[in-house]
Copies of this chain bind each other. A is one copy, B any other.
């Protein structure tokens, strides 16, 4: 039984009850959201330490942190540290995108240790160390099954990358920047065959059902620069994914859709609303969006701008972008900076949407700030240690800080 089966039957599962505790909705309302597919609760029955969490309409905006090795940079210890720091600063989920080292062991350890939902992109593993032409359909499905059997809560599957998309993707300035999308397009081109994840979508649903793994329909054709945003390739895939999402729900498989990418500020609203409309409100998981291409080293900021707006217009799940995006794998500091930037974006959107209780912490910290109660201000800060370190640097001895010194605006007459 998937959470979707249970929710449709009218029963509030234990997981739904637990997840609702952290949300501005009742357990019964969360059940309804899940039953309609407007929310998901990614919870593989084999993921033992999982603290259930829901993603979707009317719920708090969630943040995912991507971790994982590459072939040049593969250490289990480092990835576990990244996971820990990501969760410490508020990541609601992590994705293990490992492609180097002992990939199976890394994934198993991450699932074993994680209390938050874990996602993966199984097909990476199918392609690692092989020529594209040598990868078989069986390799891809075997990887997906293995990940599901290892307790992963959601898997990205790039089902929308099809033969039809191939010529469209070539018209772009930045081409295809999704790793999974690119691998599949190359596979399609090489083998002159249709994308197996699309062609055998029903089989994918069967695999997902077994341990209630949530499908995250990957946007293999997401724009890789703002010029390519909202182009034909992206929209073709969006429409197809929306159809597949409905099909998944009909089979009682929980489903998310993934979205861009690089999008100029003025196109974000349109992008989100279109996805919601076409897919009957399937939870939307966006990467960024990044709103300018000129700031490598600062894409946690460009994506916080885009993410805040996307979440305000209805995106439910923000994939963090770290300062190292486009350049190299993130280190611990990058993971922390990426998580905090994405948490800010999500929180800002929750306030703007008027989510019940979202502004409480802001109002509290403002009260203590006004009263120059530094200790309580720091206790409520998103990153207490950093705030304290600035205060210490100022060498301020009195109540006020060095910004205004004696002319402190907050001092009473």
A: which residues have CB within 8 A of B? 70-73, 99-100, 124, 127-128, 132, 173-179, 181-183, 186, 189-190, 224-228, 264-266, 291-298, 300-302, 304-305, 308-309, 312, 323-329, 331, 340-341, 344-345, 347-349, 351-354, 359, 361-363, 365-367, 369-370, 377-378, 380-383, 386-387, 389-391, 393-396, 401-410, 413
With A and B bound together, what is the CA distance between A237 and B175 in angstroms? 51
- B175 pairs with A370, CB closer than 8 A: yes
Min CB distance A380 to B, Å, is 6
Min CB distance A174 to B, Å, is 5
- A297 pairs with B387, CB closer than 8 A: yes
Among B265, B352, B354, B394, the residue within 8 A (CB) of A72 is B394
B-chain residues with CB within 8 Å of residue A300 when the two chains form the complex = 301
Among B189, B370, B377, the residue within 8 A (CB) of A296 is B377
- A295 pairs with B382, CB closer than 8 A: yes
Min CB distance A25 to B, Å, is 20
Closest-by-CB residue of B relative to A299 is B344
Min CB distance A302 to B, Å, is 6
With A181-B409, A265-B348 already in contact, 17 other A-B pairs whose C-beta atoms are closer than 8 Å: A173-B363, A174-B370, A175-B370, A176-B409, A183-B407, A225-B369, A225-B370, A293-B365, A294-B347, A295-B340, A296-B387, A297-B390, A302-B344, A309-B309, A326-B403, A328-B393, A328-B396
- A362 pairs with B296, CB closer than 8 A: no
Min CB distance A230 to B, Å, is 13
- A394 pairs with B344, CB closer than 8 A: no
Min CB distance A337 to B, Å, is 9
With A and B bound together, what is the CA distance between A325 and B325 in angstroms? 26
Min CB distance A121 to B, Å, is 10
Min CB distance A351 to B, Å, is 5
Min CB distance A143 to B, Å, is 13
- B359 pairs with A226, CB closer than 8 A: yes
Please judge, given known A-B contacts A363-B173, A404-B70, A413-B186, whether A383 and B293 are in contact too, CB under 8 Å: no
Among B72, B124, B386, the residue within 8 A (CB) of A396 is B72
B-chain residues with CB within 8 Å of residue A331 when the two chains form the complex = 393
Copies of this chain present:
2
Among B175, B294, B326, B403, the residue within 8 A (CB) of A380 is B294
- A293 pairs with B366, CB closer than 8 A: yes
With A and B bound together, what is the CA distance between A225 and B368 in angstroms? 11
Sampled A-B contacts (30; CB under 8 Å): A71-B405, A72-B394, A73-B405, A99-B405, A124-B407, A173-B370, A174-B367, A177-B410, A179-B408, A186-B413, A224-B369, A264-B351, A265-B308, A291-B352, A292-B348, A292-B351, A293-B365, A294-B380, A294-B381, A295-B381, A296-B386, A296-B387, A301-B341, A301-B344, A305-B344, A326-B401, A326-B403, A328-B393, A328-B401, A328-B403
With A and B bound together, what is the CA distance between A386 and B298 in angstroms? 9
- B404 pairs with A341, CB closer than 8 A: no
With A and B bound together, what is the CA distance between A365 and B226 in angstroms? 11
With A and B bound together, what is the CA distance between A67 and B315 in angstroms? 38
B-chain residues with CB within 8 Å of residue A325 when the two chains form the complex = 403
7 nearest A-B residue pairs (beta carbon): A328-B394, A225-B366, A265-B352, A182-B409, A297-B386, A327-B390, A266-B352
- B291 pairs with A70, CB closer than 8 A: no
Closest-by-CB residue of B relative to A397 is B72
With A and B bound together, what is the CA distance between A361 and B226 in angstroms? 11
- A295 pairs with B402, CB closer than 8 A: no
With A and B bound together, what is the CA distance between A351 and B305 in angstroms? 14
- A351 pairs with B226, CB closer than 8 A: yes
- B402 pairs with A73, CB closer than 8 A: yes
B-chain residues with CB within 8 Å of residue A352 when the two chains form the complex = 264-266, 291
B-chain residues with CB within 8 Å of residue A225 when the two chains form the complex = 362-363, 366, 369-370
